[in-house]
Structure 1
Amino acid sequence: MEREKLMVAIDFGTTYSGIAFCHSNQKELNDIEVVTSWSNNGVAPKVPTEIRYVPGRDPRWGAEASVACERRQTANSAVIYNRFKLLLDVRGGSGLYRDGSSSSSYINETDDKIRLPAGKSPINIATDYLRLLYDELMGKILRRRLPETLDITPIHFIFTVPAIWGHQAQQATKMAAKLAGFCSRKPDTFSLVSEPEAAAMYVLKAMHAANFSRVSTQAMPKLRTGDTFVVCDAGGGTVDLISYEVEEVQPSFKLKEAAVGTGAKCGSSYIDQAFLELLRRKIGPDFDDEQIWNKKDIGRGSNLMKTFDLIKRSFGQTTNDVWFIELPVEVANDEENGIYDNELEFTVEELQELFDPVVEKIIRLVEDQIHCIHNAGQPVSAIFLVGGFGESHYLYQSLVRWVNGNCASIPVINPRESWSAIMRGAIVREIHPAVRSRRLRQHYGFGCNFQYDPEKHDFNNTYVSPFGGHHVKDTIKWGGHLGDDCTEKTDIVFPVCCAIDSNNARVHCKLYASKAIEAPEYRTDPGVFCIGTIWADVSNTNLAELPCAYNEHGDLVYRFDVEVKMRIASADVSFSIWRGVRRIGNANFTHET
């Protein structure tokens, strides 16, 4: 019988981070405890994903990073670093998720403005923040809750990551978490779960408990076998969408992905950035002068941004036509820009201008998911809106208006406490996994250098193989394709031919990917990118059994044919190397940076 574990979900978010936990034998949403009390961050459901470095002292993190009285007493302490999580995704949501439309251009530009401390990489600062979170969790939260048993209780840590993130970003998250101390105890384990999949698990549990705050139709739909639903997880930095078809309802839900998951960097933090851009236009050049407008006066945690956050949260549920925000710096009256007595007049039209580019982009993502499902000949039974930004009244109302105008029969449903949907759903998913298969979000392949075919290839792009014949340079053999169904027990198989020598008996080959609709033939195509390199030690192989030849440098090389098998989970990937029916072993994988 498997030993009981403590299941701990970490929602490491762009703007806020949270923790939830329960024991592995607990089954209901009410059994999952969400941390709401923090030693140095007060009482709050989540803590800001912010860190401030104080010379000679431990870094300040979360809400305490912006404590004004301490900041005034500490030299060079006004710099608060936030939104750094977005920089873990080195590809920036490229390919399938890129949106270069001018209406949301500021969304794509603001990542360049995320600040990092001198000499620290995104993984470094993420590690520093997560180490403080880990120390709080283990030394205070869990120590207080389990004083007698914590040291002998194995913990399974579940980190959630955006579905739009590639394997490099997933690996960066895992690396930062483990460097921060997660899994540093011998019995502890670790896994990654995609945020929208966790959200879907929360939705299923919430439906069972009828735990919803808003439903756009009079009757709450019941999901039946064959129904398809869309989950829109709107957070602070990223928005992920995923759709599932219900394969079974009894004795428990079983799902399969109905369309390729999509998403974009268009969360609520981009509305904050747009607000600062609006201030820049209204204030003029002085706004960029840090001697006048100090970063601490306009950063998250400042009175200015706290006031704007209250306005942002209430937008869509109040009848206000105008709001007033006190400015932190003395500014001359400017009737044209709505500045009077050092207050900024802020109209509903201006607020809409900040929200609409982000909201419209989210609606387009929902629309694309629905079209993909309809093109497969299936109707959509429901749309679930979750996540911190998912609680926005304006976003919810805008989505309902679009649905009513385009596909009126689909209910839009907002679960209660959707800000904690990811944390709770991640635990549910680990205890009771329901997703049987997923859709590949890109093509996967290895360089193979096809044999020359005069009807298809340019002879000038060939070389003579030491094992005979002309082969084409830079071609790719794709083993998994965008949109393919894939279970966690399904192997994506790649036949790979390597040339090894007696001095370096290692297989190494580069894994490529593409999000293009049609997989390109050549790895030099601009739509192809390298994910990383697979390495495997094959020194136990009897080289005398292999075909051999001399290469162009006069070195004796051996032809080594193997199969690389890849398995993809919710937010993780693993590899193994096979020769015939014999497994040579697991493969080490080095991600491109």
Structure 2
Amino acid sequence: MATESVLQEHRIVVGLDYGTTYSGTAHGDTSQKSIDNIKVIRRWPGKERRDEVKCPSDIAYGADGTYRWGYLIPPGLARLAWAKLDLDEDNFYENQEENSEEYVDLQDPFSETPEPAEDEFPMAEGMRYNPLNKSPVDVVADYLTALYDVIMSNLRRAQGENFINRTAIDWVMTVPAVWSEKAQALTKEAASRAGIGQREKDRLFLLSEPEAAAVYAISELYQRDNTRRNDPNMLNVGDTFVLCDAGGGTVDLISYKVGQLQPSLGLSEVAVGSGAKCGSTFVDRNLLKLVRRKIGDDRFQILCQKQDGMVLNKMVSEFEGVKRSFGSSYLPGSVSYLPMHGFANDPAAGIIEGQFELTHDDLKECFDPIMEQIIELIQGQIDAICDTGSIPKYVFLVGGFGESDYLLSRLSTHKFGRAGQIEIINPDDAWSAVSRGAVLRGLEGSLVTNRRCRRNYGTRINTVFDPTIHHDEDAFYSTDTGMKMARNQVSWIVEKGADTDSNTRFKLKCGTTFQKGEKLRRGATLVASDLDLAPHSYRDKSVHDLCFLMADLSMVPESEFDSVNINGQACLSAEFTIEMAFESAEIKFQLYFKDNCYGQVKTTFH
């Protein structure tokens, strides 16, 4: 992120937390970097009260292409919910069709037909209403366009139109740490389409949600309460902690070690981050499974279709309040009711006077599978810290789902293996921690000095055949040397768990020959694997094509290349390097030839 260096120019920083169920935003400026000077937007179209720090992420399309969003959507109206998760579909590892006239791939193509991905959200039509069949990027861009207008309107109202028009804005948009590289790129594309970061001096950056939350959580403790600085029970240099960001769609975790507290906070990742799609919307999914099991398939189908899904939407909307109130004070024997109009009484199925009955045990059935997933994720981070010889001091719990009393009580009483019971800290303003932390990140630069690579990155190669390693079907003989070789192997450039600080560059070295007069454009496919121990074969099921990198050296004069003779024909050769730099939530690729940088490499994700 360009904000690593101290910015001399006065700038506004906007933190944008586009969430699965709710979205929020905060802002500050470079003249006042204190956490107390960060302002959270609380004025939302369609909302009379002005104390909500977030707005629903739903969007509702009309047949004419117009749409409503957030609080402007009437209760029960069919809408498209959870559009954010559509950016990270499971079937994006399909092989890209390559146009050989535009480039020559440095590796031979090898493809398998992927198995069709299971529908991630087989939800009722009224919750996934997309009458125009818009793509995920189009949907998210529409929502972000409306959100961008609200943010700019709030900024102009607070600081004046002339001031905002002449002041540059850094937009720090957060994404889940478990987001795929393609999902990161699609998020940035949607934001750009919405106009975010597109004014002349504006800039757009991506930041992982748990990193933003960690920056806020620690800053909130030490900046707002000076008495904590000398408290031996607070975090000190060398201490470790787990940050759990539990949102609507995803739960992200990163573990940090405190490197310094003064003059500014310094953190380093102590374990590879983890996470899963097990946020609060999956409690909603469990509710629908429960309803379907109790009332039967036929009535559930009617419920999904009744009044174009409005009855079901109203039911799920009312469940939001039940979710928030469910906790340690919710006693066994307590009963909640959700609206379910238009169905005859059937107490055995839980239908009573137009309402659906939810017992204490029913709610536990909705919550507990998700609780177990979150506990398992936290346990994994704690085990990784314990393996380094340290015991985490705290688990910081943030995010909208992080404010659940039930989740907090479950974690507070749980014994985490070798670490035992760990104190859970739920900071003030936990729901807006991500957007506030994004602003702090933009104002102060990176507070995380070292990160751990989340997966293995490499490229396909041919290598000398080794019968103890390679498969016979990959064997071939080189026409140049006559040696027995193995195709479909992988050379790993970056291994999972490697330190990826901002100054480290990982290099993909490439070489090619070409004819005189030919414009030099070459492509290489970057592959990845999430396994802890990277496999050597491209055929391994964990290895997938990640993205296609286009290296364009057409602007380099022919005199810079080396002359070679191939089969009696005078040709040119070039050796160049594609450098990878890992930031919080994206990878930057730059092209180098003879120590000169030729800009960013065009990247197409699979």
Give the TM bin, normalised by the shorter chain. 0.7 to 0.9
Matched, 1:163 2:177: yes
CA distance in 2, matches of 1:422, 1:512: 31
Alignment of 1:219-230 (within 5 A): 221-230=233-242
2:37 is matched with 31
Q: Quick check: 1:129 aligned with 2:169?
A: no
Contact 1:170–1:572 under 8 Å retained in 2: yes
TM-score by length of 2: 0.86
Match of 1:2 in 2: 8
State the SS of the aligned residue for 1:111.
coil
Structure 1 residue aligned with 2:525, among 510, 516, 522? 510
1:549 and 2:555 matched:
no
Contact 2:399/2:432, CA 8 A, preserved across alignment: yes
CA contact (8 A) 2:170 2:442 kept: no
Segments of structure 2 that go 5 or more residues without pairing to the other structure are 1-6, 94-117
Cα distance in structure 2, aligned partners of 1:558 and 1:462: 30
Q: Which amino acid aligns with 1:259?
A: A
1:187 to 180, 195, 201: 201
Residue number in structure 1 paired with 2:366: 354
CA deviation map 1:512-570 (0-9, x unaligned): 110012111122221111111111222324486154536xxx99875543322100100
Asked if 1:537 is matched to 2:557, the reply is no
Does the CA contact (< 8 Å) of 2:519 and 2:553 recur in 1?
no
Aligned to 1:58: 66
Match of 1:344 in 2: 356
The Cα shift of 1:461 comes to: 2.2
Distance in 2 (CA, whole Å) between partners of 1:474 and 1:556 is 31
Q: Is the 8 A contact 2:318 2:339 kept in 1?
A: no
Task: Verify: 1:578 aligned to 2:592, yes or no.
Answer: yes
Q: 3-state SS of the aligned residue for 1:366?
A: helix
Q: For 2:528, what is the secondary structure of its paired residue?
A: strand
The residue aligned with 1:88 is: 87
State the one-letter code of the partner of 1:276.
Answer: L
Cα 1:116–1:56, aligned 2, differ >3 Å: closer, same or farther? Answer: closer
Other structure's SS at 2:25 match:
strand
Q: CA RMSD in A?
A: 2.6
Q: Is the 8 A contact 2:148 2:196 kept in 1?
A: yes
Q: Decide whether aligned partners of structure 1 residues 296 and 407 sit closer, same or farther in structure 2, where only a CA change above 3 A counts.
A: same
Give the aligned partner of residue 325 of structure 1: 337
Question: Identity of counterpart residues, as a percentage?
Answer: 35
Q: Which amino acid aligns with 2:158?
A: R
1:368-407 to 2 correspondences below 5 Å:
368-403=380-415, 407=419
- Tell me the equivalent position of 2:121: 111
Aligned to 1:98: none
Quick one: which of 442, 452, 458 aligns to 1:439?
452
Task: Mark the CA change 1:263 to 1:555 in structure 2 (over 3 Å): closer, same or farther.
Answer: farther
Change (3 A) 1:547 1:477: farther
Q: Which moved more, 1:261-270 or 1:111-120?
A: 111-120
Q: Contact (CA 8 Å) 1:93, 1:164: kept in 2 or not? A: no
Q: Structure 2 CA distance, aligned partners of 1:186 and 1:409?
A: 52
For 2:320, the equivalent position in structure 1 comes to: 309
Structure 2 partner of 1:45: 53
Distance 1:566 1:467, change over 3 A: farther
Counterpart-to-counterpart distance in 2, 1:362 and 1:208? 27
Q: Which shows bigger deviation, 355-364 or 370-379? A: 370-379
Q: 1:263 aligned to 2:275? A: yes
The count of corresponding residues between Structure 1 and Structure 2 is 558
Deviations 1:256-311 (Å, cap 9, x if unpaired)?
10000000000001111211221222222122125536412212xx2x23332111
Per the TM alignment, residue 246 of structure 1 is displaced from its structure 2 partner at its CA by: 1.1
Query: Structure 1 residue 472: deviation in Å?
Result: 2.3
| Letter paired with 2:66 | D
Q: Does 1:479 align with 2:496?
A: no
Query: Is residue 414–residue 421 contact of structure 2 (8 Å, CA) maintained in 1?
Result: no
Q: How many Å apart are 1:338 and its aligned residue?
A: 3.0
Q: Is the 8 A contact 1:127 1:176 kept in 2?
A: yes
Q: Which digits, 9 at most, give the CA deviation of each residue in 1:159-195, with x for residues without a partner? A: 0000001211100000000001112211111100000
Whether 2:467 is the aligned partner of 1:461: answer: no
1:234 to 246, 260, 265: 246
* 1:486 to partner: Cα distance: 0.9
Q: Which runs of 5+ in 1 are unaligned?
A: 69-77, 95-107
Mean Cα deviation higher: 183-192 or 583-592: 583-592
Matches within 5 A, 1:10-25: 10-25=16-31
State the distance in 1 between where 2:570 and 2:337 align: 75
Post-superposition shift, 1:373? Answer: 1.0
Code of the aligned partner of 1:48? P
Aligned partner of residue 412 in structure 1, secondary structure? strand
What's the secondary structure of 1:196's corresponding residue?
Answer: helix
Q: Which moved more, 1:238-247 or 1:528-537?
A: 528-537
Partner of 1:104: none
Shift of 1:84: 1.0
Distance 1:411 1:191 in 2: 33
Please give the alpha-carbon distance, in whole angstroms, between the structure 1 residues aligned to 2:572 and 2:78. 57
Corresponding residue of 1:105: none
- Alpha-carbon distance between aligned partners in 1 of 2:414 and 2:488, rounded to the nearest angstrom: 46
SS at match of 2:432: helix
SS of 2:462 mapped into structure 1: coil
Q: Retained in 2: the 8 A contact 1:511–1:530?
A: yes
Residues 125-134 or 140-149, more deviating: 140-149
Q: Distance in 2 between matches of 1:556 and 1:132?
A: 58
Distance 1:115 1:307, change over 3 A: closer
The Cα of 1:376 is off from its aligned counterpart by 1.8
Helix, strand or coil for the counterpart of 1:367?
helix
**Alpha-carbon deviations, 1:329-357, whole Å to 9, x = none?**
22222232333222322111110110001
Relative to structure 2, which stretch is displaced further, 557-566 or 279-288? Answer: 557-566
Change (3 A) 1:306 1:463: same
| C-alpha distance 467-405 of structure 1, shift in aligned 2 (>3 A) | closer
What amino acid does structure 1 have at the position aligned with 2:540?
D
Aligned: 1:525 with 2:540: yes
Instruction: Provide the C-alpha distance between the structure 2 equivalents of 1:362 and 1:260, rounded to a whole number of angstroms.
Output: 16
Instruction: Report the Cα distance in structure 2 between the residues aligned to 1:573 and 1:41, rounded to whole angstroms.
Output: 38
The structure, 1 or 2, with the larger RCO (C-alpha pairs under 8 Å, 6+ apart) is 2
Tell me the distance in 1 between the aligned counterparts of 2:14 and 2:341. 43
Question: Equivalents in 1 of 2:417, 2:491: separation in Å?
Answer: 44
- 2:546 is paired with a residue of what secondary structure? strand
CA distance in 2 between partners of 1:548 and 1:454 (Å): 34
